Amino acid sequence: MLERVARAPRDMPIVSLVMWQPENEPPRLAAVGCGQRPLRLKAAKRYLQEQLTPEAITRAAQATATHPGDFRGDAAYRAQMTAVLTRRVLG
């Protein structure tokens, strides 16, 4: 499952989040735009494995957002969008 947020549908994403599940393994999460480079959301993955609430998983993903911000979105906006997109991929 892939979710993204951008200024326009054809624009480069500000934040993107993907969740995938390899065969016979727990789900994994990765994000682009919430850090200086693409990153795996390992804390959120751990919460997924422990089957905690979606709110706990969302908070863990949001806490990993360390992007300093730029003209497309400041640090707070990127952290909030990481939370929103995490909720979306969790369904």
Q: Exposed e or buried b for every residue in 67-89, given b needs 16+ CB within 10 A?
A: beeeebbeeebbbbbbbbbbbeb
Count Cα atoms within 13 angstroms, Cβ side, for 2.
4
pLDDT tens digits for range 36-85: 899 998 888 788 888 888 888 889 889 989 999 999 999 999 999 999 99
Question: What is the number of structural domains in the chain?
Answer: 1
- Kindly report the CATH number assigned to the domain that includes residue 51: 3.30.390.50
pTM of the model: 0.87
CA 79, CA 86: separation in Å to the nearest integer? 11
Asked if residues 43 and 63 have their Cβ atoms less than 8 Å apart, the reply is: yes
Q: Which domain holds residue 37?
A: 2-90
Q: What is the pLDDT of residue 57?
A: 87
